[in-house]
């Protein structure tokens, strides 16, 4: 049983999120997703996500390729999350390329290319512009 773990905010869920989840799941037998907490986003990005952590966890947990979800409360706890969830592979988008190589002593680290031309920020701007 090869367990894949990935992390993300997944706010205003879109097809770029879906594609990375599908590609992550295809790298193993079981996919566990760490969804970043509202407080973590506020601290790191200076704004709260549009959808709350409870809503984002519910959306991710309902996806067919996802076997389990957990709340990512601290960026500094990645190593313990990986151990706790039995990661054989850590998958991140290539916006994080090289940033998690330190975990290659406990699991394989894979960076996947982002889906072009779609982002939560662009969607928020597009929607705000139409109101």
- Where on the chain is the footprint of ligand C2G (CB under 6 A)? 7-11, 16-17, 20, 36, 72, 75, 92-93, 95, 114-115, 118-119
Report which residue's Cβ sits closest to ligand C2G: 93
d(CA 64, CA 22): 9
Nearer to ligand C2G, 30 or 123 (CB): 123
C-alpha to C-alpha distance for 33 and 90, rounded to whole angstroms: 10
Closest to ligand C2G by CB, 88 vs 112, is 112
**DSSP H helical segments within 26-65, as ranges?**
38-45, 53-61
State the minimum distance, in angstroms, from the CB of residue 61 to ligand C2G.
Answer: 15
Task: Return the number of other C-beta atoms located less than 10 Å from residue 101's C-beta.
Answer: 11
**Least CB distance from residue 58 to ligand C2G, whole Å?**
15
> Contact 42/17 with Cβ under 8 angstroms?
no
In the complex, minimum distance from the CB of residue 117 to ligand C2G, in angstroms, rounded to a whole number:
7
By beta-carbon proximity to ligand C2G, the closer residue of 16 and 28 is 16
User: Quick check: helix, strand or coil at residue 46?
Assistant: coil
């Amino acid at each position: 049983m090869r367990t894949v773990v990935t992390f993300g905010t997944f706010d205003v869920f879109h097809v770029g999120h879906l594609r990375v989840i599908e590609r992550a799941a295809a790298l193993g037998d079981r996919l566990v997703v760490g969804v970043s907490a509202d407080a973590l986003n506020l601290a790191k990005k200076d704004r709260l996500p549009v959808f709350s952590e409870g809503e984002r966890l519910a959306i991710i947990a309902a996806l067919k390729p996802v076997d389990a979800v957990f709340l990512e409360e601290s960026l500094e706890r990645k190593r313990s999350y990986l151990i706790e969830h039995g990661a054989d592979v850590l998958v991140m988008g290539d916006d994080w390329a090289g940033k998690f190589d330190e975990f290659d002593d406990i699991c394989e680290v894979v960076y996947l290319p982002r889906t072009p031309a779609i982002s939560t920020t662009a969607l928020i701007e597009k929607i705000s512009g139409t109101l």
